[in-house]
Amino acid sequence: MGPTMRILVTGGAGYVGSTLVPMLLEQGHKVRVYDALKFGGTGLLPCCQSRNFELIKGDVCDPVGVAKALDGVDAIVHLAAIVGYPACKKEPQVAQATNVEGTRTLLNLRKADQKFIFASTGSIYGSVPDYVCNENTPTAPITLYGETKAAAEDMVLNAGNSVAYRYATAFGVSNRMRLDLMPNDFTYQAVKNRNLIVYEGGFKRTFVHVRDMARSIMFALDKWDTVKDDVYNVGHESMNFTKEDVARQILKHTDYYLHFAEVGSDADQRNYEVSYEKIRSKGFETTVDLDRGIAELVRASKLIEFQNPYANV
């Protein structure tokens, strides 16, 4: 572990942030979260015991707030975004402003020596069947979410002293739960409704556990000189699964009625495989496999009551 740092985490109260921030604090770093608290901030309650934790409530689109948040930090972890296809479709102007202009504001106001880690997404590859994507695969996003993240990623890499991580589909239990992620949603439905209908069951995705996402960010901070000024896919080839695979894995942990439907389609036509060789060559490996992640989700689903905010999108 390297020296302790002062780290700004934008969107730190979110799904990934509320997993990452406690891990950073545990390593002795001083952590400032800058978050609009759109989904509340209770995911960060466990952090309040630490005197190294600070919260500034604000929007990444507000230059005054951003300047205050950036003051005196060594590194910026930029997680703040409107995430996913449905959320961006629901509020396209907000998505554009947050994901693109918010990133621009941060980059314009940061100092060149402040390290910048950007959470990008595998969604920017678009729909690319028949071959394995690596970091040189041309990006061809087919959703507004993918487009905004691709534009932001370009700005981040052009700005220098930065790392962009193209994450696989996130899943797993976090202090700030998200159930709009496919494995999380499937598990929740299986536990709560005792049934699940799966369409386009053959569609493939790669998954990455939220704790491994947080670990990848700590890895970049730790090994900055070996990873900086580049883009990496983050995940693992062994985590390439079809929707059917995920549904069948859940059956091993909880009994429910699984039905495959011929009708219906997925708006975000992701169906591809990704190579994670590049980040592995730098020394990063994921640790949580699908089975362990699903086992956790089954336990968590019994604890939570949840309404999907995008059920009617």
pLDDT at 159 over 60: yes
pLDDT of residue 310: 53
Q: What is the mean pLDDT of the chain?
A: 93
Bigger pLDDT: 2 or 8?
8
**Sign of the torsion formed by the C-alpha atoms of 56, 57, 58 and 64:** negative
**CB-CB neighbours of 273 under 10 Å:** 15
Q: Print the SS3 string covering 219-267.
A: HHHHCHHHHCCEEEEECCHHHEEEHHHHHHHHHCCCCCEEEEECCCCCC
| Average pLDDT of the residues in 188-205 | 91
Q: Identify the CATH assignment for 6-171+209-236 out of 3.90.1150.10, 3.60.110.10, 3.40.50.720, 3.40.30.10.
A: 3.40.50.720
| Average pLDDT of the residues in 58-72 | 98
| Average pLDDT of the residues in 118-143 | 86
pLDDT at 68 over 90: yes
In angstroms, the CA 14 to CA 83 distance is: 10
In angstroms, the CA 112 to CA 210 distance is: 29
Note whether 67 and 59 are within 8 A (CB): no
> Two tokens at 101?
């202009």
Looking up tokens 């507004």 gives: 144
pLDDT of residue 250: 98
Q: Is 14 helix (H, G, I), strand (E, B) or coil?
A: coil
**CA trace torsion 171, 176, 180, 185 (10° rounding):** 60
Rounded to two decimals, the pTM is 0.94
In angstroms, the CA 293 to CA 295 distance is: 5
| Average pLDDT of the residues in 61-67 | 98
| Average pLDDT of the residues in 70-79 | 98
In angstroms, the CA 103 to CA 105 distance is: 5
| Average pLDDT of the residues in 204-221 | 96
In angstroms, the CA 175 to CA 293 distance is: 14
pLDDT of residue 313: 40
**CB-CB neighbours of 261 under 10 Å:** 10
- Please write the tens of the pLDDT for every residue from 214-235: 999 999 999 999 999 999 999 9
pLDDT at 61 over 70: yes
